[in-house]
Structure 1
Amino acid sequence: MALLKQIKDKGSHTLVTFTIGENEAPSSSNVLLLGDFNNWQSNDSSFQMEKKGNTYVKSLKLENGKRYEFRYLSDDKGWFNDHAADDYVSSPYSGIENSVVDLSVVPQKKIVVKKTIKITTSKTVKKAKKDDLKKIEGIGPKIASILTEKGIGDFEKLSKASVKVLEGILKEAGPRYSIHKPGSWPKQAKLASADKWDELKKLQDKLDGGK
């Protein structure tokens, strides 16, 4: 999935191209792009995504300075999110999140400075922290990938996630994942984030598949 953005009309609007890649749609049926920009009207066929082979594409020119919530609606498989969205926010429906395309800040044109400035530093830039979520009892490679796509990619964020939100993410991922019980995941992640590995091991010895 991808959100391609092109500034238009001297910065007042952005042409956003929504793309669902091959094998990313839940089925081969028609898909509607619904959101704040069309008042979530599912009877508006003008927002049906164009199918090109096994991919779906739809471009919209949206006003800058706003954030737009949206989701995709498959004719036969129902709602699903964009894994490449700028953000995710809770919807009015319990346990469900909407994707967000963020146009609240418009990129400014770069100013070219002709003068060459030499910068020297002895400090090494630290890489962004990445935690192995598979160390949490009940989380395998695929679920770790799903959580990371939802912005829960390290122990600290997982420790602060509510069980209700985690259950919603698993339910949205499909029945294969909704059977998992994430009740202990935040507690495990809190211990891992604090490097309390011995305590985590003792807790995991008492667990059964992360329950």
Structure 2
Amino acid sequence: MSIFLLQSIFLVLLCFIIGYVIARFIKQKLYDRAALKTASNVIDNEDRAQPVSTATQATGSANEAEFYTSIKPDNLQIVEGIGPKMESVLNENGISTWSQLASKSVPELQAILNKYGNRYQIIDPTIWLEQVKLAAAGKVDDLIKLQKIDGVSKLENMMYLGRKSGFARYKQDDLKIVEGIGPKIEVLLRNAGIETWQQLSVAELSSIKAILHTAGPRYRLATPESWSLQARLANNGEWSKLKEIQDKLRYVRPKQGEQEIAEA
């Protein structure tokens, strides 16, 4: 067998081995990314919406940027892989805004996750930083494209569901988004120091009732039992759940006095 033939066989085998190694590496990277993303979602038990159709994207693109600006920079849940529980973990460690998260390094974030046990230790925060830097820079389209690499864009779904559910007309922290709160009650709450969805979401029911009681007999007819829950869903961008709850509330016919207050 000639030297040339041996060299040819060797080169063919070498190319095959290199190609195999590269293919395995790429496959493993894609698998790891998918696995880590799944682990994040298991922790937060997040509901996923169906992909937005091309036709729907086209009709909604006009007010897409406007709706994005209504999402406050302390809503870390626009990042794929961050849900309520993960956001709570980050908040506990002094990370509550996009810019604060973007300023952290992967080792710093990994050190935080390591404190919370095995389920958090396997999360790779690298993909968070890619997303949150785009969010902080206001690069909506780029962020949606990045999230779509793995399938559905979480941010796009949040914006689409907000428009579809009829909430696009409300700006961030407009308390009237809550079923049962009209302009007059909103003024009462703001005067009492409850000015944001987040503040309303953690307000004690007894405190809200006290505010209404002090305002007079008409306001005592209001039923604020669901207001904190509605505010939390609005603050988290969980529009489909908020609409579902509000549809149920509207099904029960309110008392006339309560209806007058809500619509005032």
TM-score by length of 2: 0.30
Larger Cα Rg: Structure 1 or Structure 2?
A: 2
Higher relative strand content: 1
TM-score by length of 1: 0.37
